[in-house]
A = this chain, B = another copy of it.
Amino acid sequence: MKIAVIGISCTKFKEHWDKSLQDLLAQAQLEAIKDAKIFPQQIEAIFTGNMCSGIFSGQLHLGSMAAENLSLNTPSTVIEGACASGGLALRAGILAIQSGLHNVVMVNGVEKMTDLDTEQITTGLMAAANEEYEHSVGATFAGLNALIAKRYMYEFGLTREQLAAVSIKNHKNGALNPLAHFQKEICIKNILTSTIIADPLTIFDCAPISDGAASIILSTPEFAKKLLEKRPDQKIVYIIGSAQASDTLALNCREKLTEFKANKIAAQIAYEMSNITPQQIDLAEIHDGFSITEIISLEDLGFFETGTAGKATENGETSLNSKISINPSGGLKAKGHPVGATGISQAYEVVIQLRGQAGERQVKNAKVGLTHNMGGCGTTSVVHIFSKE
């Protein structure tokens, strides 16, 4: 597989009280077109990842909105897979090009969350879990992830400090990212003395509620080649692996809490498809909805042995320009997590890094990058591998 990324954009992630869902979506779409230096009319199909606009804004049918924003009548479809909606939309865009039916496809991710109060948002997000067996009995995602963290700590001796090292590292990266919701470093004391959301997770273990949008424009390698002939300064990055897997909605049906089967399956297929090993990945954007999900995902994706990712993080092995640069953008924790936008914003970071345009947070000599987007507690997992060539 070889799909060209010819344009990309990401809005600032924050509480956008002055912008509507449509404003954010339109901004990302127009900036990606500007980045690709193509005409909107060249876009043959649109896919938009979104989870909660129906619940949060009473607005579904964002496919039509995305086409209307560009005055197009092209096929335009919404893709939903909870917090993995963006990543699944990217995969839908890739399939559309691979199908031979389309040469140039736009993929968006968008979420407008902050128009509601926190309780309404937490309730809305629980639609990603099992309504009957989890939500209706009072579980929240922080609660479910706390269960997972407790079990992982029990099995592998992960310390509270090691868990905290994830958020400290991600905030350190986020401080260098002008698009991040929190451009601010935090220290171990901040985390250990902050509000407990669900023991052992404090507020600094949980990704924030953010608004934002991101867009990516994909094409066949042939289209990208022609584009390069006209605009030799254009920097093209390629997607060489795409894989997706599912697990049970409810945690009680899983064999293990300390690994995510969907992650393992998706990663294996993506590595095989791209003929890349975990050791060849220079940087990865990992779905750190909670600090514990970064630890587990690092292992599921083959970067560290089972039970060792906490220690490795504490030792700085996942810091910027170390063994592997994990979440150079700041991750969901510091960059923010407008759920439907997250998967595309991860692709934005990897593409910008591979282009060498990441400024202060640039990973040196970055050639191969990976994005890992997850819905629920490892319920849907989608992995993409990007290459400079």
| Residues of chain A at the chain B interface (Cβ within 8 Å) | 20, 22, 51-55, 57-61, 63-65, 67-68, 72-82, 88, 91-92, 94-96, 98-101, 123-124, 126-132, 135, 243-249, 253, 261-262, 265, 375-376, 379-380
User: Please, which residues of chain B bring their CB within 8 A of the CB of A124?
Assistant: 54
Residues of B within 8 A of A88 (CB): 63, 77
Q: Is the CB of A77 within 8 A of B81?
A: yes
Complex Cα spacing A220 to B130, Å: 34
**Count of identical protomers in the assembly:** 2
Given contacts A68-B246, A246-B68, is CB(A262)–CB(B73) below 8 Å?
Answer: yes
Contact A67 B131 (CB under 8 A): no
Partner of A68, one of B59, B72, B77, B253: B253
If A54-B52, A99-B95, A101-B95 touch, does A246 touch B379 (CB 8 Å cutoff)?
no
Closest to A243 in B: B75
The residue that A81 contacts in the complex, of B61, B81, B261, with Cβ under 8 A, is B61
Distance in Å: Cβ of A347 to nearest Cβ of chain B: 17
Give the contacting residue for A246; candidates B55, B74, B79, B265; CB below 8 A: B74
On chain B, the residues within 8 Å of A94 by CB distance are 99
Given contacts A64-B380, A78-B80, contact A246 B73 (CB under 8 A): yes
Contact: A375 with B64, CB < 8 Å?
Answer: yes
When the two chains form their complex, are residues A79 and B82 in contact, meaning their CB atoms are under 8 A apart? Answer: no
B75, B132, B379: which contacts A20 (Cβ < 8 A)? B132
Interface CB pairs A-B, < 8 A, 28: A53-B127, A54-B54, A58-B126, A58-B131, A59-B127, A61-B82, A61-B380, A63-B88, A64-B246, A64-B379, A65-B249, A68-B247, A68-B248, A72-B246, A75-B244, A76-B81, A76-B246, A77-B79, A77-B88, A78-B79, A78-B80, A78-B81, A79-B79, A92-B92, A94-B99, A95-B95, A96-B99, A99-B99
A80 vs B85: C-alpha distance when bound (angstroms): 11
Knowing A95-B99, A98-B99, A99-B98, the reply to whether A247 touches B52 (Cβ < 8 A) is no
| Contacts known (A244-B77, A246-B68); A59 close to B92, Cβ less than 8 A | no
Q: Are A61 and B132 touching (Cβ within 8 A)?
A: no
